Structure 1
């Protein structure tokens, strides 16, 4: 078993070493799909443990010998965001099990984010009821992109937020798919394609994003709506579902 432990959490080493053995029985499940996420309380700390499923054989070979696994990237990438002033759950450890020399289950352990809200709530929201959040989020996203950070799964479930002392705070999760480097206006606008919301939501988002980055508002609006349409059209075709978007 391979373990990488954040030195700041050396006091949790015994717990980290026990994760593969206790994961099935302990903690509260907060997500169950291809991967599984649990919250486990250790003393006064709420800890998130994400178990990644065992990859298919070809990917097991790739993640063992060629590419970093999703869990390893999830452990390494947060520091790059934190160093630039963007919130993401503080990483605690990465754990990797191997079977016959190939990667098996892997685990990413982090401090649990206390923010309770996600962007799912804006699918049918009236812009009058969420304009302040949209403005804050647009400015946050613009600064994120200006810092050379592109979250490649910028979807509603991966953007956590809450209001503290009159200010909206955002935290990004599931950051194993990231791109670092210059983010063009077009790439930044395309990054919003997975979000839920009505046309006024995206119009305001485009206006504030453009203003913060010094870009053309009409161009940003057109790019955001175009990439949104393309993404959801592909999504519906792939999953053979019907959907309705107001364009």
Structure 2
């Protein structure tokens, strides 16, 4: 069955860039490189603009129907959430466009396009190298950034090590969220806010610093914050490794 192409563009794009970007998307697989297993990300120069193009894998059969008729695609949500974050003054690479390919009854491929952002490092580096210059200030600035998200009623569900880009700006730091398709915008209670830190690190020393800074920002009790943040961190790690062991056991039997 022939696929139908659906395009949504940022209104600031010129027709020339739209046409060039369409050609790139239609020939995405012919471009070399890329990172990612389930989804593929490639940095491609289009009309002298360096763009980050994320190709989402084709959903399984049931979700092809769900995404076709009942739910927004990951690409569309990424585009719309990026625009919402920008309006709220939260850093994220500039959203450019999203593409969807469908048939009459099924959802197929989709792509999210944003401006490529050169960062100095990601939060992940903080979990691996404690000797990064100005380490404590960066971690505390990141905690303040997360607190600002919560104050704006933003719950970033994929708040994990690789999804915050960090760029040094003089003596301060700017933070940019990526991988945006899972977000909520609603008032957040204490437990939800603190649990939002659970995927970020396995190191108790980092949890101690983030708890201390979050207490300073919020005026809430440090011990209460730390006890919950560390409890949720351990719970997430246990769930992660249990799932990993189960997967290895299943694959081992095949």
TM-score > 0.5, shorter chain as reference: yes
State the SS of the aligned residue for 1:163.
strand
User: Does 2:43 align with 1:73?
Assistant: no
| Worse-matched range after superposition: 149-158 or 190-199 | 190-199
Q: Could you say which residue in structure 2 is the equivalent of 1:164?
A: 169
Q: How far did residue 59 of structure 1 move?
A: 0.5
User: Does the CA contact (< 8 Å) of 2:100 and 2:110 recur in 1?
Assistant: yes
Query: In structure 1, the residue corresponding to 2:13 is in which secondary structure?
Result: helix
In 1, the alpha carbon distance for the partners of 2:66 and 2:24 equals: 24
Once the two structures are TM-superposed, the CA of residue 210 in structure 1 deviates from its matched residue by: 1.7
In structure 2, the residue matched to 1:54 is 58
State the alpha-carbon separation in 2 of the partners of residues 127 and 210 from structure 1. Answer: 25
Q: Which residue of structure 2 aligns with residue 193 of structure 1?
A: 198
Give the conservation status (yes or no) of the 8 Å contact 1:118–1:157: yes
Q: For residue 104 of structure 1, what is the aligned residue in structure 2?
A: 108
Distance 1:227 1:92 in 2: 36
Structure 2 spans left out of the alignment, 5+ residues: 247-254
Superposed CA offset, 1:177-203 (max 9, x none) = 001011222111101111125212111
CA distance in structure 1 between the aligned counterparts of 2:84 and 2:220, rounded to whole angstroms: 26
Number of corresponding residues: 240
Q: Normalising by structure 2, report the TM-score.
A: 0.89
Question: Contact 2:85/2:91 (CA < 8 Å) preserved in 1?
Answer: yes
Counterpart of 1:115?
119
Q: What root-mean-square deviation, in Å, do the aligned CA atoms of Structure 1 and Structure 2 show?
A: 1.7
Aligned-partner Cα distance in 1 for 2:131–2:192: 25
1:36 maps to 2:48? no
Tell me, in whole angstroms, the C-alpha distance in 2 between the residues paired with 1:63 and 1:107: 14
TM-score, structure 1 normalization: 0.92
Q: Distance in 2 between matches of 1:27 and 1:141?
A: 35
Contact 1:127/1:201 (<8 A) preserved? no
